[in-house]
Amino acid sequence: MSNQKKRNFQIEAFKHRVVVDPKYADKTWQILERAIHQIYNQDASGLSFEELYRNAYNMVLHKFGDKLYTGFIATMTAHLKDKSKLIEAAQGGSFLEELNKKWNEHNKALEMIRDILMYMDRTYIESTKKPHVHPMGLSLWRDNVVHSPKIHSRLLNTLLDLVHKERTGEVIDRGLVRNVTKMFMDLGESVYQDDFEKPFLDASSEFYKVESQEFIESCDCGDYLKKAEKRLTEEIDRVGHYLDAKSEDKITSVVEKEMIANHMQRLVLMENSGLVTMLLNDKYEDLGRMYNLFRRVTNGLATVRDVMTSHLREMGKQLVTDPEKSKDPVEFNASNSSFEYFINLNARSPEFISLFVDDKLRKGLKGIADADVEVVLDKVMMLFRYLQEKDVFEKYYKQHLAKRLLSGKTVSDDAEKSLIVKLKTECGYQFTSKLEGMFTDMKTSEDTMRGFYGSHPELSEGPTLIVQVLTTGSWPTQPAVPCNLPAEVSVLCEKFRSYYLGTHTGRRLSWQTNMGTADIKAIFGKGQKHELNVSTFQMCVLMLFNNSDRLSYKEIEQATEIPAPDLKRCLQSLACVKGKNVIKKEPMSKDIGEEDLFCVNDKFTSKFYKVKIGTVVAQKETEPEKQETRQRVEEDRKPQIEAAIVRIMKSRKILDHNNIIAEVTKQLQPRFLANPTEIKKRIESLIERDFLERDNTDRKLYRYLA
C-alpha cells in the first residue's frame, strides 16, 4: 500500500475486546465438552456448528489451545474406553458387527469434531507440531479399542476363523470382514500388516500345508493340480472381496509354496498320473494346467523340463531296444501345442535331439533292418517339426556329423543320407546343402588320396597319411590350432600339400590339427604290444617319448606348441583315465599342473590289442561352449532376418511396423522363431544403411528405397 493513498481510516487487525477470564476458558471448554458427548451419543441435531466453532476459535485465540487440545484427547479417550467395553461385551457373532458399528460412529463423530476444532487444527497444532485432530482420533481408536487386550486377539481370531470357515465351504458375511480390514488399512498400513496380514499369512500357510499333504496322499496328479488351481483362484477372489490389494501377491505366494513348490518332484514323477503319463495319454488340459501352475514357482518349469528331457531320452532308448514297440504310433502322438510348448521349453532340445541322432548313427542302428531304421528316422523328423529353433538344431547336427564323418564312426552311410533327404524335404535345399557338401568332401578326399599315393609309390613304406580335404564353407568352422607335428608326419604332410596345390592352384590349405586322429603301434616295458587310436595332439605328445624317457609339462608344451587348455585336456586323457593311462604322471593328481612330470607307463595293460584313447566323441556341451554356440546362432540369424525384411519390403514397397514383424516371423518360421526386438534392430540397421526409410508423417510406416 502506498503512502500516497489517503487511507486514514486504517483498519487494524481485529482485536477482541473480551476480557480474558480463566473462568471463561473453563466455561467455554464445558460447552465443547458437552457437545462432544452429545455427538458421541448420536444426539447432535440440536447443536449449532457456528456456535461451537466460535467457542473453539475463541479458546485458541485467547491462548487456551493447550486446554482445548488436551481436553479433546481426554474426552475422546474416555468415550472410546466406554465403547471398548460395549464391544467386549458383545456375544459371538455380533462381536464383529458391534465393532464395525462403533467404528462407523467414531468416524462420523471424529469428522464433526474435526470441523468444530478446525481453527485449532490450523493454528495451534500447526505451530506446536502435535498430531492433527483426525489422525489423533484414529490413533486413539487404535490404542483404546483395537489394541485393548480384551479385543485385540479376539478380533484377529474371529477374522481368521471366518476365513477358515469360508475355505472349508461355509458362507460368511464378506462385507463385514471387508469393513474391518478396511478399518485396519485406515489405521495405517503397518497396523494392517502387523495386526492382521502377517498372522493371516501364517495361518494360511498352516492351512495349506495340511491340506496339500492330505491331497497328495489321496489324489492323482491331475486332480491335485485341479484342486491347487481352484484354491489359487479362490484366494485371489478373496483378496478382491475383502482384503487389501497388496495382499494378493503375498497370499498367492503362500499357496504356490505350500501346494506346488513343496511337492513339485512328487507330482511330476507320480506313478501313473505324473508328467510322463500325461504326455503318453495326451492329457493336454492337465499338461496346460501343470504348465500354468509350475510357471509360478522358482524352478517349477526347470523341474518339468528335466523330467521331459529324461523321458525323451528314455523313449529314444526304448525305441531301439524294442523295435516292435517303435511301430506303435500312439507313443509319439504329439500333435498338440502343449507338446510344442514343452519341447521348446527346453532350450537344449535341439541339441539333445541331435545327440540322440548322433548316438543312433554311431552305433544304435547297428544291425537293425533298413525298414526299422526308416521308422526311427521318421520319428526323429516328427520331433524335429516341433522345434522352433531349427537353425540351432542344424548347427549341432553339423558339428556332430562332422565328428562322425571325420572319425569314421558312422554306422550306416545310407542312414545318414536318408536323414538328410528327409531334412531336405522338410526344410528345403538350403538347409541341407552344406551337409551334403560334407559328404561330397569325404568322397572327393578318397579320390584325392588314391591320386596322391598313385603318384608317390615310394611312400607305401612308412607311415600312412590319410587326408580329408574339407571345403571351408560346409564344415563347422574351427580356428586352426598351432601344433608341431613329429618329423615323420610333417614330411608327409608337405609332400601332400605340394601334390594337392599342384593340381589345385589358387587354393589354400590349413591343417586342422585339432580334428585329426592317428593310429600308433606301441611297445611297452614288458613287451606288451598295442595299437593306440589317438587324436593328433595325443600323437604329437606320445611321439616325443621316443626320444626322452621323462618330460616335464613345460618341455612338452614347448616341443608341441599346443595351446595350454588343449594340451592339458590331451595329457589328462593320456594319463588320468583308468584303463587308458599309457602315460604316467607325477604327482598322481587328477589335474594337470605346470610342474608335472611325465613318462611312459611301462606297466600299461589292456585286454584289447587296439586301444582307443581319442577324445573325439560328441558330448553334451559345457556351459561356455553352449554360450558360444548360442552366440554364433544369433549372429547367423541377423543376416537372415535382414534378407527377409528386404525381400518383403521389395515386393510391398510400403508396410507398417506390425505387419513387417508378422511377415518376417512367418517367413523365418521354418528355421527359427524370430524375436520382434531383433527384427526391429535389423530394420533400424537397414534404415541406417539406406535400404529403407521411415515415412515423414506416420512414424510407424516404412518405405523401400530402390
Task: State in angstroms the smallest separation of the CB of 123 from another protein.
Answer: 10
CB of 14 to another protein, least distance (A): 5
Shorter beta-carbon distance to another protein: residue 9 or 608: 9
- Residues between 122 and 181 that touch another protein (CB under 8 A): 122
471-500 residues in contact with another protein (CB under 8 A) are none
Amino acid (1-letter code) at residue 696: N
CA distances from 97 to 91, 143, 284 (A): 10, 19, 48
What is the three-state SS of 390-427? HHHHHHHHHHHHHHHHHCCCCCCHHHHHHHHHHHHHHH
The helix (H) or strand (E) run that includes residue 523 is: strand 517-523
Residue 200 DSSP SS3: helix
Least Å distance, CB 15 to another protein, is 7
Report the Cα 421 to chain-centroid distance in Å.
36
Closest-CA residue to 72 (of 27, 134, 129, 24)? 134
Q: Which is nearer to another protein, 111 or 621 (CB)?
A: 111
Q: Which of 15, 521, 529, 607 binds another protein (CB under 8 A)?
A: 15
Query: Which residue, 120 or 228, has its beta carbon nearer to another protein?
Result: 120
CB of 115 to another protein, least distance (A): 5
**Nearest distance in Å: CB 124, another protein:** 13
Determine if 53 is a binding residue for another protein (CB under 8 A).
yes
Q: What element of type H or E holds 176?
A: helix 174-187
Which range of residues in 3-11, 372-380, 505-513, 538-546 is near another protein by CB under 8 A?
Answer: 3-11
Binding piece for another protein, criterion CB under 8 A, among 117-125, 161-169, 177-185, 369-377: 117-125
C-alpha–C-alpha distance, residues 279 and 286, integer Å: 9
- Nearer to another protein by Cβ, of 114 and 209: the residue is 114
Pairing mode of beta strands 517-523, 701-704: unpaired
Distance CA 91, CA 112 (A): 30
- 550 three-state secondary structure: strand
The single residue among 98, 115, 248, 636 that binds another protein, judged by CB under 8 A, is 115
Q: How far is the CB of 685 from another protein (least distance, A)?
A: 53
Q: Which is nearer to another protein, 18 or 171 (CB)?
A: 18
The residue count for binding another protein (CB under 8 A) is: 21
Q: What is the sign of the dihedral through the CA atoms of 59, 61, 67 and 72? A: positive
Residue 54 beta carbon to another protein: minimum distance, rounded to whole angstroms: 4
| CA 549/CA 545 separation, integer angstroms | 6
Could you say which residues in the range 398-417 bind another protein, by CB under 8 A? none
Is the Cβ of residue 54 or residue 630 nearer to another protein in the bound state? 54
Specify the 3-state DSSP secondary structure of 341.
Answer: helix
Read off the amino acid at residue 9: F
Residues 2, 4, 14, 590: which binds another protein (CB under 8 A)?
A: 14
Out of 29, 40, 57, 196, the residue judged to bind another protein by CB under 8 A: 57
User: For another protein, which is the closer residue by CB, 5 or 23?
Assistant: 5
Shortest spacing between CB 181 and another protein, in angstroms:
21
One character per residue 17-46, x = contact with another protein (rule: CB under 8 A): x-----------------------------
Query: Quick one: three-class SS letters along 56-125?
Result: HHHHHHCCCHHHHHHHHHHHHHHHHHHHHHHHHHCCCCHHHHHHHHHHHHHHHHHHHHHHHCHHHHHCHH
16 versus 508: smaller Cβ distance to another protein: 16
Amino acid occupying residue 16:
H
Binding-site member from 46, 50, 526, 697 for another protein (CB under 8 A): 50
Q: Give the angle 530-533-534 at the CA atoms, nearest 5°.
A: 125
Q: How far is the CB of 10 from another protein (least distance, A)?
A: 8
User: Using the rule CB under 8 A, which residue among 13, 171, 245, 330 binds another protein?
Assistant: 13
Nearest to 321 by CA among 289, 366, 279, 288: 366
Question: Which residues, other chains included, contact 695 with Cβ-Cβ below 8 Å and sequence gap of 6+?
Answer: 654, 701, 702, 703
Under 8 Å between Cβ of 537 and 567 = yes
* Contacting range for another protein; rule: CB under 8 A; set: 116-124, 125-133, 325-333, 655-663: 116-124
For residue 107, give the C-alpha cell.
468416524
Contact residues: another protein, CB under 8 A? 5-9, 11-15, 17, 49-50, 53-54, 57, 111, 115, 118-119, 122
